[in-house]
Structure 1
Amino acid sequence: SLDLAFNKIGSEGGIAIGDALQHNDTLTSLNLYRNQIGDEGASRIADALKINESLQNLNLERNEVGPEGASRIADALKINESLQNLNLERNEVGPEGASRIADALKINK
């Protein structure tokens, strides 16, 4: 597991983490609580979730993720089969992002 809570990594750090997750097959838990990764960082992490098969727990609480980032995560959830816990608490996903995630959960098994 990796806990990077309260590290102010921003979107640049979120992008770097997303890139790393595309090549990692051992990490099962990632805590990015309150890092301000925004939609850009969340989108790159979502790209990684499409191919990563080991991550089971992802905490993105308080990361300024908006509707676009939530939509990209929703797209990844349609494909990803390993993620079991996703925390998007205290973001700004809005009705559109929430709807996209709800639709993805109907497909995700």
Structure 2
Amino acid sequence: ARLVSNRLQPAVGVRELNLSANRIGDRGAADIADALPMLDSLERLLLERNRIGLVGAKALGVRLPRSNVRELVLGSHLGGNPLGPQGVKALASALDDYMPRAASDRATRLGALSLEDCDVGQQGAEALAEFLPKSCLQVLSLARGNIGDSGAE
């Protein structure tokens, strides 16, 4: 992932980057996250089935607000990442912290977030619920998220 992120930095025309099922893990997610602010044209980032956990979620959450990514896919019908409730919480709180600062530039804000099969859990769902009113999300997928009855309220 480090090689890919280093090579991508000058690739300003790339609109979609699909690194699904490459086992990049937390370290690879952090490398990709570090490259995001320099990829001005990147709008869609697909990272499902990569063994990304809490550390990778935190790295993405920190860098994502400084990017133009409008769609982040960490999980799909094919499988997700073991983010867990704490990883989802870290991602949501990092994005939530950014939202007031970017309110005027709604066109470049995250509009779609897929966390299917990412073990969102009740705590992760609650963190996302806090974030939603301040977001520009039009699509949020939490299928197979182990949310349960109380997390869905």
What range describes the TM-score normalised by the shorter chain of this pair?
Answer: 0.7 to 0.9
Q: Structure 2 matches for 1:58-73, cutoff 5 A? A: 58-73=45-60
Shift of 1:57: 0.6
User: AA paired with 2:88?
Assistant: A
Q: 1:32 aligns with which of 1, 19, 33?
A: 19
Q: Which has the higher contact order (CA 8 A, sep 6+)?
A: 1
- Residue aligned with 1:88, SS: strand
State the partner residue of 1:87. 73
User: AA paired with 1:24?
Assistant: A
Question: % of aligned pairs identical?
Answer: 38
- CA–CA separation in structure 1 for the residues paired with 2:65 and 2:89: 13
Mind listing any 5+ residue stretches in structure 2 that lack a counterpart? 100-108, 110-153
State the partner residue of 1:75. 62
Q: 2:86 aligns with which of 68, 81, 96?
A: 96
Q: Cα RMSD (Å) of the superposition?
A: 1.3
**Would the aligned equivalents of 1:21 and 1:45 in 2 still touch at CA under 8 Å?**
no
Mind listing any 5+ residue stretches in structure 1 that lack a counterpart? 1-13
Q: 1:42 aligns with which of 29, 40, 46?
A: 29
User: AA paired with 1:85?
Assistant: E
Shift of 1:86: 0.6
TM-score, structure 1 normalization: 0.80
TM-score, structure 2 normalization: 0.58
- Residue aligned with 2:23, SS: coil
Moved over 3 A (4+): none
- Tell which structure's C-alpha radius of gyration is larger: 2
Shift of 1:27: 0.5
State the partner residue of 1:52. 39
